[in-house]
Amino acid sequence: MILTGRSRLAGVLGWPVAHSRSPRLHGYWLDQHAIDGAYVPLPTAPEDLVDCVRALPRLGFMGANVTVPHKQGVLAACDRLDDHARRLGAVNTLVFDGPTIEGRNTDGVGFLNNLYQRAPNWGPAAGPAVVLGAGGAARAVVIALADAGVPEIRLANRTRTKADTLAAQLDGPVTVIDWDEKTAALEGANLLVNTTSLGMIGHGALEIDLTPLPPHALVNDIVYQPLETDLLARARARGNPVVDGIGMLLHQAVPGFAAWFGVRPEVTETLRDFVLQD
């Protein structure tokens, strides 16, 4: 690490934030490019969020990432939003231009770039996508897929009303499917994405029969703890191409790093291995 009185500063706002892999990720890029800068954890209680964010530009910070539970709360501190943050109603990246605070959202870009890198033969226009879940991550995924040209998005959530609400709010080719019909929805699909917590360590299993899924269909789980979920293991065993979730974390970080530190970093196998180390 190189630090001087001219160091560029950034960090990650969360509560708690000790679990975040972002300091390790950005620290790797800072060292790789010999940048005079630092990226630090910024544990921030919800009631202090707006005041803390507005203080950061005065302390010399170039910006920050935003993680749970602050992605919506931080909107109140932003002077302007990019198109993705406005459509999602959530911010994961802050960029400071003098005292002006801009909120951005790079989750959709990170999701798509992960697929493009790990599954170069996949194309969004080749067929329908099935998306499981209707939370914030699902919203980012659905918007990204619609913008990329996916012709049909079949959306299923354990609470159907949440999926109905999400579909009504989005301008895209979204069809809501009952949770009990998610297996049948796999027929003819080109992509299956799990955005729920099912399959994550400490959560229940995702119960879905993959039999109707075409053998060429790509399967992605945005969960990365464990890195290979039961869904991915079963899909791989039957011959489907699979993409794990850690790449979404890595790719969504690229635009922020470029804005804060002036270098556009690359997502490599060495970086993946480094970030995954305990």
Which CATH number belongs to the domain containing residue 139 in this structure? Answer: 3.40.50.720
What band does 134 get if pLDDT is binned at 50, 70 and 90? very high
What is the C-alpha to C-alpha distance for residues 204 and 229, in angstroms, rounded to an integer? 11
What's the pLDDT at 235? 98
Examine the domain organization and report whether 100 and 168 are in the same domain: no
Examine the domain organization and report whether 167 and 69 are in the same domain: no
Is pLDDT of 172 > 90?
Answer: no
Is pLDDT of 52 > 90?
Answer: yes
Percentage of the chain with pLDDT > 70?
Answer: 100
Model confidence, pTM: 0.95
What's the pLDDT at 129? 98
Catalytic-role residue among 71, 87, 104, 154: 71
Is pLDDT of 99 > 90?
Answer: yes
Percentage of the chain with pLDDT > 90?
Answer: 93
Helix (H) / strand (E) element for 95: namely strand 93-97
What's the pLDDT at 265? 98
- Numbered residues of the known binding site for NADP(+): 83, 133-137, 157-162, 222, 245
CB 153 within 8 A of CB 132: no
What band does 211 get if pLDDT is binned at 50, 70 and 90? very high
Would residue 65 be called left, alpha or beta, if left means φ above 0 and alpha means ψ between -120 and 50 degrees? beta
By residue range, what is the domain housing residue 171?
Answer: 122-240
111 domain-assigned: no
Examine the domain organization and report whether 215 and 269 are in the same domain: no
Examine the domain organization and report whether 148 and 208 are in the same domain: yes
113 domain-assigned: no
What's the pLDDT at 54? 98
What's the pLDDT at 202? 84
Domain count, the chain: 2
Mean pLDDT value of segment 252-275: 98
71 catalytic per annotation? yes
Examine the domain organization and report whether 31 and 137 are in the same domain: no
Examine the domain organization and report whether 164 and 197 are in the same domain: yes
168 domain-assigned: yes
Q: Where are the beta strands (DSSP E) in 98-251?
A: 100-104, 129-132, 153-156, 174-177, 191-194, 218-221, 242-243
117 domain-assigned: no
219 domain-assigned: yes
What's the pLDDT at 171? 79
In angstroms, the Cα distances linking 78 to 95, 163, 234, 237 are 10, 28, 43, 46
- Numbered residues of the known binding site for shikimate: 20-22, 67, 92, 107, 224, 252
CB 239 within 8 A of CB 215: yes
What is the C-alpha to C-alpha distance for residues 276 and 278, in angstroms, rounded to an integer? 6
Examine the domain organization and report whether 258 and 179 are in the same domain: no
Is pLDDT of 262 > 90?
Answer: yes
Q: Torsion angle of alpha carbons 69, 252, 183, 153, nearest 10°?
A: 100
In the three-class reduction of DSSP (H, G, I as helix; E, B as strand; rest coil), residue 216 is classed as coil
115 domain-assigned: no
Is pLDDT of 278 > 80?
Answer: no
Is pLDDT of 1 > 80?
Answer: no
Q: What is the pLDDT of the chain when averaged over all its residues?
A: 96
Examine the domain organization and report whether 37 and 57 are in the same domain: yes
What's the pLDDT at 203? 84
Mean pLDDT value of segment 109-123: 98
Residues 6 or more apart in contact with residue 183 via CB below 8 angstroms: 208, 209, 211, 212
What is the C-alpha to C-alpha distance for residues 142 and 129, in angstroms, rounded to an integer? 9
Tokens (6 digits) for 33: 């490019």
What's the pLDDT at 86? 96
96 domain-assigned: yes
Is pLDDT of 76 > 80?
Answer: yes
Mean pLDDT value of segment 20-34: 97
- Numbered residues of the known binding site: 20-22, 67, 83, 92, 107, 133-137, 157-162, 222, 224, 245, 252
Is pLDDT of 197 > 80?
Answer: yes
Examine the domain organization and report whether 26 and 83 are in the same domain: yes
Mean pLDDT value of segment 37-52: 98
